[in-house]
Amino acid sequence: MAAMDADIALFDTAPTDPAILDRAVIAAREAVGLPVGARIVAAMSGGVDSTVTAALLHKAGYDVVGVTLQLYDHGAAISKKGACCAGQDIMDARMAAERIGIPHYVLDYESRFKEQVIEEFADAYLRGETPIPCVRCNQTVKFRDLLDVARDLGAEAMATGHYVQRSFAGGGNRPQLRRAADPAKDQSYFLFATTAEQLDFLRFPLGGMDKPTVRLVAAELGLSIADKPDSQDICFVPEGKYTTVIDRIRPQGAVPGDLVHMDGRVLGRHEGVTRYTIGQRRGLNIAVGDPLFVVRIDADKRQVIVGPREALLTQGLSLKEGNWLGAEDSLEAAAAAGAPVLARVRSTREPVPGRLALVDGAAHLMFDVLEEGVAPGQACVLYDPADPERVLGGGFIVATQRAVV
């Protein structure tokens, strides 16, 4: 059966619709595109989305095996609300698997999550960058390590509850990664690093639904987590205070330094470069008249450089660790061809037009319109200008080129 088309309409979310579950099951089969009875590993975090994914696939007739990763400090996270992959959420996943009637395994990935995600998160701040740990987690622990586990369990595919679509739109023989049908829940920004090989094995049954529909489906399936709140913030950061994590594992980030105006004037002192991100205005504790923003962080000199808002305008950037899902062999090959793209530099922003270029063997992007507050360490996700729903790939921002205004 063909994979779910990217332009599938959103489900009717009216709670009185008696056929909502039947349509969800049909959509799940179309998203999987494998014969009924095939073994599928469902990644279960304990939240609504992954639980509905597992339950739908089971109801659709697949041989589903639930797998949950314990990613960080199980003991400390038992009572933390809005988390995932620890404490209560692991218990919720286990109980949901029992309710669905599928086997379930919990794998202890704390050590590799700490090394590949948490420590990299802290080190990025030490380098003066603004990291994006959810991408790193998907790129390493979930879509690399867990896929190996799924294959070891004899699965023909692994399914997750992400809001993104996998499609063969246009009739090609390679799956495409596409934005979710519901723009409000689209997670394509966080999955740009998914490789072509991984995409062959992954399935996203919720990509054509919106969240209210998913909750209605959960209720129809009799799942107790139908009204469970979504996870918030970064899972391993208590109450959103990321400096608490950094100070514990990289205390050198709290070494004070100078707050410097971009014209060279020293305006004050700061308590550590890890306290600041590009574009930040609050918490500078300096009064010089016009509003000032963090425009650059020089971690080697322990300097936080500030300037007026127009200094945040960016006309270009350079990328590392590129991933490419387009027709070319790599991001660098697309850059050498000068490929036009739509570039998204923050998860909350819409993509803007630009063009790739290859400079000294590295991929660069030049914007057609100036962007503001682009930060090294964040992801730059690239979409197809001819088909804006299609993800072409992207990379992590290494440096920015400030606009001359």
CATH number for the domain that contains residue 153? 3.40.50.620
Among 84, 85, 134, 235, the one annotated catalytic: 235
Mean pLDDT, rounded, of the chain: 89
Based on the fold, state whether residues 318 and 303 are members of the same structural domain. Answer: no
Based on the fold, state whether residues 264 and 303 are members of the same structural domain. Answer: yes
Say if 202 falls within a structural domain. yes
Q: How far apart are CA 24 and CA 178, in angstroms?
A: 19
Say if 5 falls within a structural domain. no
Last residue of a domain, one of 215, 239, 263: 239
Based on the fold, state whether residues 178 and 202 are members of the same structural domain. Answer: yes
- Indicate if 137 belongs to the active site: yes
Among 84, 85, 134, 137, the one annotated catalytic: 137
Say if 278 falls within a structural domain. yes
Q: What tokens were used for 263?
A: 């014209």
- Indicate if 134 belongs to the active site: no
Say if 246 falls within a structural domain. no
Say if 203 falls within a structural domain. yes
Based on the fold, state whether residues 78 and 135 are members of the same structural domain. Answer: yes
Count of domains forming the chain:
3
Q: What confidence tens digit (pLDDT) does each residue in 117-141 have? A: 999 999 999 999 999 999 999 988 8
Based on the fold, state whether residues 77 and 212 are members of the same structural domain. Answer: yes
Q: How far apart are CA 163 and CA 326, in angstroms?
A: 20
Q: What confidence tens digit (pLDDT) does each residue in 27-85 have? A: 999 999 999 999 999 999 999 999 999 999 999 999 999 999 988 764 444 344 444 54
- Is the Cβ–Cβ distance between 162 and 178 less than 8 Å? no
Q: What confidence tens digit (pLDDT) does each residue in 149-208 have? A: 999 999 999 999 999 999 988 767 889 999 999 999 999 999 999 999 999 999 999 999
Last residue of a domain, one of 288, 307, 326: 307
In this structure, what CATH number is given to the domain that contains residue 274?
Answer: 2.30.30.280
Domain of 229, in residue numbers: 20-239
Give one word for 214, left, alpha or beta, with left for phi > 0 and alpha for psi -120 to 50.
alpha
Q: What predicted TM-score, i.e. pTM, was given to this entire model?
A: 0.90
Strand partners, 397: 319
CA 49 distance to own-chain centroid: 15
